Amino acid sequence: MSFGDQRILVTGGAGFVGSHLVDAFMGRGAYVTVLDNLSTGSKENVRQWIGHSRFSLEAADCLEAEDLRRAMKDRELVFHAAANPEVRAALTDPEIDFQQNVAATKMVLEEMRKSRTARILAFTSTSTVYGEAKQLPTPEDYGPLTPISLYGASKLACEALISGYCHMFGLRSVIYRFANIVGSRSRHGVVWDFIQKLRKNPKELEILGDGRQSKSYLLVDDCVEAFLIGLKKLPEKIETYNVGSSTRVSVIEVAKIVSDEMNLKDVSLTFTGGVEGGRGWKGDVKTMLLDTSKIEKLGWRSKHDSAESVRIAARQLLRKT
């Protein structure tokens, strides 16, 4: 797929990952419409494109059919990145994952079904659909999929809806299950949280859980490249790719990297102990590493390992905040 002159809708395009996708599409000559309710996204993330002849921003919600239909008009590719980004949010508001993930995705699919032009969907899913996988690295065909959070469950439900719509209504879709994405413009996740905590108290850092949670981290730049490569070979109906680095690091290692980038010495680490064997919270997957060999066959490979991704992300966030 060539992105030059392509007409693209990016839902959640003013958010963390979505805005980086907008940069990539605009830089390749595409016509981009962003639909974002700005609840977690920001106009600042797409400020450089506002007023550009190939760019438009719709401050609206995927749950509003009329707004979605207007934003999708004449679009050919829909990149659906709008979602609740915070796994822990369901602990206090279980409805948020259903509304912002499942219901919103159903609305996008339904408008695509009615559209004459929007027939290709790219969807940002997550490694949390695997739950506590017994096979590491975890391949796309691992099963059964048993997510342990409502966030993971909602994303898996979205994948199922996408599959049904693709098979019944002739849509085509590429689904990306990504690791922990880090980098500039992020306003949630462990790197961002540690920076905020250490600014308040440079001598002590509280870590949720036992600190031994070990996961894969990927810089958002590498993530975007994977998304673009995944769209170059479109499936007949649906294809799924894992996106992540080939290594993992513990939360304790993340804490040390962030402290180092902030030039803080002798930071005392304290641990909440967490729940259910040292998890940071209920639904926290303690160990995650994805098998990315499938998308690597298309020519993609992460340029940075997990530790490098965390370090670069910390530097980027520290420069911007």
Is 151 annotated in the active site? Answer: yes
Q: Which residues contact 226 (CB under 8 A, 6 or more apart)?
A: 176, 178, 241, 243, 295, 300, 302
Cα separation, 222 vs 309, whole angstroms: 9
The residue annotated as part of the active site, out of 151, 165, 176, 241, is 151
DSSP letter string, 31-47 = EEEEE---SS--GGGGG
* Residue in this structure with the two tokens 């990539």, named with its chain if needed: 24
CB 208 within 8 A of CB 246: no
Please classify residue 106 by burial: count the beta carbons closer than 10 Å to its beta carbon, then call 0-12 exposed, 13-18 middle and 19+ buried.
middle
Q: Which residues pair with 177 in a beta bridge?
A: 125, 242
Q: Which residues of 51-83 are buried (b: 16+ CB within 10 A; e: fewer)?
A: eeeebbbbebbbbeeebbeebbeebbbbbbbbb
Tokens of 87: 């796994």
Amino acid at 209: G
**Residues that are catalytic:** 151
